[in-house]
Amino acid sequence: MTRDEKDRAVELNEEFGEFAEKRLQSGGSCHRSDVVKSFRRYFAKYRQADSQQYPLTDLEIEKLLRFWNETQNERKAEMTSSGFYYGIQINSDADVFA
């Protein structure tokens, strides 16, 4: 991993942590694709997955979600084989675009 890749990984994890603090809450359930959409709405620079300046695939955001759940959320949410996370939900009150 190059220094630039490491710096990007650190930045993305910090940004996902900020997003999770503001937009995710305990309880309920949500699909991983809903988390991806909400993350893209929260950070306008990532709205387009194929952006030249800020490229970020849906799969990368899903990996951020898994990493966050393991490290910051103490694995409180469980993901099913169909992609639903039980134990977290999107705070629709905070997401003005929902």
Nearest CA to 62 out of 91, 38, 29, 97 is that of: 38
Residue 83 lies in a domain: yes
Q: Name the residue type at position 90.
A: I
Q: Which domain holds residue 53?
A: 3-91
In a domain, 96, yes or no: no
Specify if 68 maps to a domain: yes
Here the CATH number for the domain that contains residue 58 is: 1.10.10
Is there a domain that residue 98 lies in? no
Give the pLDDT of the chain (98 residues) as one tens digit per residue.
Answer: 899 999 999 999 999 999 999 999 999 999 999 999 999 999 999 999 999 999 999 999 999 999 999 999 988 999 999 999 999 999 987 655 54
- The total of structural domains in the chain comes to 1
DSSP SS3 for 31:
strand
pTM of the predicted protein model: 0.90
Note whether 5 and 73 are within 8 A (CB): no
- pLDDT at 92 (0 to 100): 80
Residue 95 confidence (pLDDT): 53
- The reply to whether 31 falls in a domain is yes
